[in-house]
Structure 1
Amino acid sequence: MSFDDGYGQIFVMNEDGTGLRQVTPTVTGEMSDTRYANYASISPDGSSIAYTRNGRFIESVDLESGNSRTLYEGGYQPTFSPDGSTIAFTSLDGISAMNADGSDVRLLAREESAFGAAFTPDATRVVFNIGGYIVAVPATGGETTVVLRDQFWNADPTFSPDGSTMVFSSNRGGNNGSELYSMPAAGGPITALTDTYAVHPQFNADGSRIIYNRATTRTGELVTDIVSYERSELATMNVDGSDQIRLTPQSITAQDASFGGGRP
Structure 2
Amino acid sequence: MGERRSRFLGVAAISVVLAGLIVGCGSAEEASPGPGPTPALQPVRSAKIAFDDSESVFVMNPDGSGVTKIAPGTDPSFAPDGTTLVTGGGWISTVSVDGSGLRKLAEGGYTPVFSPDGTRIVFVRGGDLFVMNADGADLRKLGDLPAPTGPNQDSSRSPAYSPDGSKIVFCRGSAIWVMGADGADARPLLADKHFNSDPVFSPDGTTIVFASNRGGKNRSELYEIDAEGSAVRPLTDDWTVGPAFSPDGAKILYTLARSAPDSGAEIWVMNRDGSQPRRLTEPSQVAQHPSWGADPNS
Please report the TM-score for the alignment, with normalisation by the length of structure 2: 0.76
Q: Which range moves more in the overlay, 170-179 or 244-253?
A: 244-253
Question: What is aligned with 1:15?
Answer: 62
- The letter for the 2-side match of 1:250 is P
- Contact 1:132 1:154 survives alignment (8 Å): yes
- Contact 1:44 1:262 survives alignment (8 Å): no
Question: What is aligned with 2:156?
Answer: 114
Q: Deviations over 1:175-196 (max 9, x none)?
A: 1010000111123211111111
Matched, 1:38 2:74: yes
- Separation in structure 2 between the aligned mates of residue 64 and residue 255 of structure 1, nearest angstrom: 19
- The letter for the 1-side match of 2:286 is T
Q: Which range moves more in the overlay, 131-140 or 110-119?
A: 110-119
Matched, 1:159 2:206: no
The SS at the match of 1:150 is: coil
**Percent of counterpart pairs with the same letter?**
40
Question: What is aligned with 1:169?
Answer: 211
Matched, 1:76 2:110: yes
- Separation in structure 2 between the aligned mates of residue 259 and residue 98 of structure 1, nearest angstrom: 22
- Contact 1:95 1:110 survives alignment (8 Å): no
Matched, 1:51 2:87: yes
- Contact 2:52 2:75 survives alignment (8 Å): no
- Separation in structure 1 between the aligned mates of residue 92 and residue 229 of structure 2, nearest angstrom: 33
Q: Deviations over 1:115-172 (max 9, x none)?
A: 1110011110111111110111211122311111111111110111110111000000
- Separation in structure 2 between the aligned mates of residue 232 and residue 65 of structure 1, nearest angstrom: 23
- The letter for the 2-side match of 1:3 is D
Change (3 A) 1:102 1:156: same
Q: Deviations over 1:215-262 (max 9, x none)?
A: 124676xxxxxxxxx211000011111101001112211000012123
- Contact 1:93 1:110 survives alignment (8 Å): no
Question: What is aligned with 2:285?
Answer: 252
- Separation in structure 2 between the aligned mates of residue 189 and residue 136 of structure 1, nearest angstrom: 17
- Cα displacement (A) at 1:18: 2.1
In the alignment of these two chains, the number of paired residues is 240
The SS at the match of 2:65 is: coil
- Contact 1:44 1:259 survives alignment (8 Å): no
The SS at the match of 2:288 is: coil
- Cα displacement (A) at 1:69: 1.5
**Larger relative CO (CA 8 A, sep 6+): 1 or 2?**
2
Matched, 1:183 2:198: no
Question: What is aligned with 1:224?
Answer: none
Matched, 1:2 2:51: yes
Matched, 1:234 2:267: yes
- Separation in structure 2 between the aligned mates of residue 175 and residue 122 of structure 1, nearest angstrom: 36
Change (3 A) 1:64 1:24: closer
Structure 1 gap ranges (5+): 26-36, 221-229
